[in-house]
Structure 1
Amino acid sequence: MSAPAHIRRARPHDAFAVAAMMLQLGRERGASPDPEFIDRFADAWLRSSGSHAYWLAEIEKRPLGIAGVTLVEQLPVLGGPRRSRWGQVHTMFVTPTFRRCGIGGQMAREVFAWSSAEGLTHLRGDLTELGPAAPGIARRLGGRPAHEGIFESVLRVPATLF
């Protein structure tokens, strides 16, 4: 059963909400508390010039999940594509109370739709870092194993680019 979560792209005014979700993820993974983390993360994200995109999952405006992608723009290669932009999925986290409700899949679909609309050629993610539900979500969305633990999804180029 899916929870009625609202998934949206995080904006600069969400910097502290994004940082708080990253703090929860770190604590769940066993990281030691750091009283300066939220400020440091928010400042770094705001300075990152748009190379790190985040999505928040919310119910009644309360953040309960986060997805993150780092945008990679490769330099041209002789004989290769003129421009290659792709995304590295590095964060997919849902708070324990809302797991197994379909929110991870909702976030992944939003990330895929946005990535395709942005003209990214593919998404890649190390699913061993993204939790036990990640491989199933990736397969359902067309991802395929690239090598151990790494899944990749080739995105369709939007028709609007032609």
Structure 2
Amino acid sequence: MPSLVATAAGRATASSVKVLPKTAASVLPRGRVKGVGRHREPVTCDALTCEASGVTDELDGIRIERAVPEDAFVLAAMTLRWDLEGGSPRRAGFIDEFAEAWLAQGNARPAWLARRADGDPVGFAIGILATSLPSLRRPTGGWLHLSSVYVVPELRGSGLGERMLRQVIDWAADGGLYRVQLNATDRARSLYRRVGFGGPQDTLMQCVLTDRLPTS
């Protein structure tokens, strides 16, 4: 079976949203996605951290880059892997569904992929970009909500999640955004604090419409 990365490359472009192949799910192996399934029996993990992972010097050669349209199926497969780890049932056509939705939203859904030197995907982050309209009362800018941050199990606790977050924050600052926000799991809070996240300002309020808030 061809590599997920090799199969995905060139199949999804900004102009191909309406003609994504109906068999895109076939690029995802039944058991494991290349580079996502090599477990080392980590202890008590979530999507970013482990109490004990035994990872040493494994970040050498890993690069973190902005995802491009050709990465749509890679992001879809990594998201599927994460969902299955959490116990979600498979759904036919999910790979196509995710790739099409991400491509359709364009620049409003910036994403980052972490890859080994051989192209193997080992982590990703996806955000939702909100930009403010011109105003005389406040500077023009916007904010980024990180909806997904994931590291493969064998690299949790290695520092890769922190590297990804710092790169996202640098991108947001360079782009003139004034806030990056996310929903934090209890286990990942210490990581988020290390890179600069804290409690919201007193002026920030929300109206919760569901009893199950998403987590990053």
TM-score range, shorter chain: 0.7 to 0.9
1:120 is matched with 177
Aligned partner (choices 183, 193, 196) of residue 139 of structure 1:
193
TM-score between both structures, scaled by the size of structure 1 = 0.81
Tell me if 1:66 matches 2:124: yes
In 2, distance between residues paired with 1:98 and 1:141?
18
Identify which range, 2-11 or 38-47, moves more after superposition: 2-11
1:106 is matched with 163
TM-score between both structures, scaled by the size of structure 2 = 0.62
Cα deviation, residue 73, structure 1: 1.6
Cα deviation, residue 122, structure 1: 0.7
Q: Which amino acid aligns with 2:197?
A: G
Cα deviation, residue 49, structure 1: 2.5
Deviations 1:28-74 (A, max 9, x none): 22211012011111011111021001111111210011111110123
Q: Which amino acid aligns with 1:23?
A: L
In 2, distance between residues paired with 1:49 and 1:81?
26
In 2, distance between residues paired with 1:75 and 1:31?
38
The 8 Å contact of residues 8 and 55 in structure 1, kept in 2 or not, is answered as yes
Larger Rg computed on CA atoms:
2
1:42 is matched with 99
In 2, distance between residues paired with 1:53 and 1:20?
17
Structure 2 residues without counterparts, runs of 5 or longer: 1-55, 205-216
Cα deviation, residue 8, structure 1: 0.8
Partner SS state of residue 49, structure 1:
helix
Partner SS state of residue 136, structure 1:
helix
Cα deviation, residue 117, structure 1: 1.2
Which is helix-richer, 1 or 2?
A: 1
In 1, distance between residues paired with 2:91 and 2:156?
26
Partner SS state of residue 65, structure 1:
strand
1:87 is matched with 144
Identity of aligned residues (%): 33
Deviations 1:87-139 (A, max 9, x none): 001111011111111110010011011111111111011112xx723x12221
Which is strand-richer, 1 or 2?
A: 1
Greater relative contact order (CA < 8 Å, ≥ 6 in sequence) = 2
Cα deviation, residue 76, structure 1: 5.1
Structure 1 residues without counterparts, runs of 5 or longer: 151-162
RMSD of aligned residue pairs (Cα, Å): 1.9
In 2, distance between residues paired with 1:93 and 1:74?
28
Identify which range, 67-76 or 7-16, moves more after superposition: 67-76
1:6 is matched with 63
In 1, distance between residues paired with 2:78 and 2:137?
38
